[in-house]
Chains A and B, each alone.
Chain A
Amino acid sequence: MTKQHANWSPYDNNGGSCVAIAGADYCVIAADTRMSTGYNILTREYSKISQLAEKSVMASSGFQADVKALQKVLSARHLIYQHQHNKQMSCPAMAQLLSNTLYYKRFFPYYSFNVLGGLDSEGKGCVFTYDAVGSYERVGYSSQGSGSTLIMPFLDNQLKSPSPLLLPAQDAVTPLSETEAVDLVKTVFASATERDIYTGDKLEIVILNASGIRREYMELRKD
């Protein structure tokens, strides 16, 4: 007699889109606030953004139970780091920690698609983009989640980075100003909301710069 398998899945997709853009001295991280399952909306005001350290902010879409567990693990690890080293984790350090944490569950993954944004030790904006099992790279901008297929080509058109193969190495961060980048993010989400059913309700934008952290909200279509 064959072993009876569970006809139950431990995963679900709660949808949503995330975006992060790095600038010369700022970083913009944004995500919508809709949480869905199947064709239902569960709630219109769920934040997908979590501040992991003073200069590291992560936006994650995917399965919210896994996202929440991942955020808790990273917060706890950051607290231990602070106790051991008496300082905040830098963004590139947090980037490596996130990658390792994701790969740790390589054979029962966190169903979480992340973008990590922040300021590096020189104060320049940095964005790291991940897949569900931890492969990552530093980029000038990125998007993840259900609307990423709609958002990414638009960002490529507006922000195309120079090739990382060029010599001398050219900066991947955008020359846009902070206000221009925030405007771009708002435009990008308004467009994604039109065609992606899982994106909408409200947009949460977090801006990190030398003077600290700032939050902005924008209403999106609710259908």
Chain B
Amino acid sequence: MNIENYNVNSPIFKPTLFFNRFCVSFFSTTATTTTIQVMDSIAETQRTLYPYVTGSSVVAIKYKDGILMAADMGGSYGSTLRYKSVERVKPIGKHSLLGASGEISDFQEILRYLDELILNDNMWDDGNSLGPKEVHNYLTRMMYNRRNKFNPLWNSLVLGGVKNGQKYLGTVNMIGMSFEDNHVATGLGNHLARPILRDEWHENLTFEEAVRLLEKCMRVLLYRDRSAVNKIQISKITEEGSTVYAPFSLKTYWDFSAFKNPTAGAEGSW
């Protein structure tokens, strides 16, 4: 702990308080000088090392009228399925949807930052509103700056929206890497869902086609991602606005002969 003495030879000097790192203990004034004793009490700043409560994949696609985004409602605590009603897709402002995988508490903090961003935008009251491109840029800068300080927000985010007829779908992860595409996914969704989307996505999918495509992706994730839960929420954003649909569960089929007798082709295997 350092104790530093500042001698300031100005009668009009006003001491300022630095909240996080220093605390002004006392100051005495003589006729010509003001002495302030400051105690330096910096604690070693803590940084994120690993996530605690996590959400699994988010999958999103562009379709005819806008963007469709799907995520399950699970919040895992390591290998325990701790929370089963976590909403991982939220509307942002009038034009965007944000979906997140990774640390849930960091997602909630991001929502608070975006709340402030949208609030300040609304306070201008000038008829303009932040579109998905602007929100995506803000998120990218925020994630990159946290990464620069070695204290990342442990999330992979999907940001989709429509403004003035222009559809936008982008993603950004915890090291600040971002891009936009016609279909995006986070985590295991990149491995399991993107190949399906590369094969079956096309321009101007109808709403029903798009929902069926997303359900197909979520079903594969349900079968093959151990942190997936069978409680899916699909959200939609169009020029008219956003809709978060009620949660539903997918029908699964476990009577495949390969599941019933998995070692039929390889004796001794499991």
B179 touches A46 (CB 8 A): yes
Interface-lining segment among B76-84, B103-111, B142-150: B142-150
**Which listed residue (B147, B148, B179) contacts A35, Cβ 8 A?**
B179
Asked if B178 lies at the interface with its beta carbon under 8 angstroms from chain A, I say yes
Residues on A with beta carbons closer than 8 Å to the beta carbon of B175: 9-12, 63, 65
Residues on A with beta carbons closer than 8 Å to the beta carbon of B140: 65, 68
A35-B179, A68-B178 known; A42-B49 Cβ under 8 A: no
Size bracket, chain B contacts: 10 to 19
> In the complex, what's the smallest C-beta–C-beta distance from A31 to chain B, in angstroms?
15
A43 touches B181 (CB 8 A): yes
Task: Determine chain A's interface SS by DSSP, over half rule.
Answer: loop
Residues on B with beta carbons closer than 8 Å to the beta carbon of A43: 179-181
| Beta-carbon nearest neighbor of B180 in chain A | A43
> In the complex, what's the smallest C-beta–C-beta distance from B165 to chain A, in angstroms?
21
Asked if A107 lies at the interface with its beta carbon under 8 angstroms from chain B, I say no
B144 touches A42 (CB 8 A): no
B150 touches A45 (CB 8 A): no
B179 touches A69 (CB 8 A): no
Q: Which of B24-82 contact A (CB under 8 A)?
A: 47, 49-50
B49 touches A4 (CB 8 A): yes
> In the complex, what's the smallest C-beta–C-beta distance from A69 to chain B, in angstroms?
6
> In the complex, what's the smallest C-beta–C-beta distance from B187 to chain A, in angstroms?
11
Q: What is the CA–CA distance of A12 and B194 in the complex, to the nearest angstrom? A: 20
Asked if B191 lies at the interface with its beta carbon under 8 angstroms from chain A, I say yes
B177 touches A14 (CB 8 A): yes
Residues on A with beta carbons closer than 8 Å to the beta carbon of B152: 8, 10
Residues on A with beta carbons closer than 8 Å to the beta carbon of B180: 43
B179 touches A42 (CB 8 A): yes
> In the complex, what's the smallest C-beta–C-beta distance from A153 to chain B, in angstroms?
31
Residues on B with beta carbons closer than 8 Å to the beta carbon of A11: 175
Asked if B160 lies at the interface with its beta carbon under 8 angstroms from chain A, I say no
> In the complex, what's the smallest C-beta–C-beta distance from A8 to chain B, in angstroms?
7
Asked if B176 lies at the interface with its beta carbon under 8 angstroms from chain A, I say yes
> In the complex, what's the smallest C-beta–C-beta distance from A15 to chain B, in angstroms?
12
A45 touches B181 (CB 8 A): yes
Asked if B5 lies at the interface with its beta carbon under 8 angstroms from chain A, I say no
Asked if A6 lies at the interface with its beta carbon under 8 angstroms from chain B, I say yes
> In the complex, what's the smallest C-beta–C-beta distance from B10 to chain A, in angstroms?
35
A10 touches B150 (CB 8 A): yes
B190 touches A10 (CB 8 A): no
**Which listed residue (A6, A12, A46, A63) contacts B150, Cβ 8 A?**
A6
A40-B190, A40-B191, A42-B190 known; A10-B179 Cβ under 8 A: no
Q: What is the CA–CA distance of A12 and B172 in the complex, to the nearest angstrom? A: 13
A7 touches B49 (CB 8 A): yes
Q: Which of B156-194 contact A (CB under 8 A)?
A: 175-181, 190-191, 194
A65 touches B49 (CB 8 A): no
Contact with B along A32-74 (1 / 0, CB 8 A): 0001010010110110000000000000000111001100000
Residues on A with beta carbons closer than 8 Å to the beta carbon of B190: 40, 42
Q: What is the CA–CA distance of A68 and B136 in the complex, to the nearest angstrom? A: 14
A4-B49, A6-B49 known; A64-B144 Cβ under 8 A: no
> In the complex, what's the smallest C-beta–C-beta distance from A209 to chain B, in angstroms?
30
Residues on A with beta carbons closer than 8 Å to the beta carbon of B176: 65, 69
> In the complex, what's the smallest C-beta–C-beta distance from B173 to chain A, in angstroms?
9
Q: Which of B96-148 contact A (CB under 8 A)?
A: 140, 144, 147-148
Which of the listed residues A12, A35, A43, A46 has the most CB atoms from chain B within 10 Å of its own CB?
A: A43
24 A-B contact pairs sorted by A residue (CB < 8 Å): A4-B49, A7-B49, A7-B50, A10-B147, A10-B148, A10-B175, A11-B175, A12-B177, A35-B179, A37-B177, A40-B191, A40-B194, A42-B179, A42-B181, A42-B190, A43-B180, A45-B181, A64-B177, A64-B178, A65-B144, A65-B176, A68-B140, A68-B178, A69-B144
Q: Taking A9-B175, A42-B181, A69-B144 as given, write out 9 further A-B residue pairs in contact, using a Cβ cutoff of 8 Å, ordered by the A residue number.
A: A4-B49, A8-B49, A10-B150, A11-B175, A35-B179, A43-B179, A43-B180, A43-B181, A64-B178
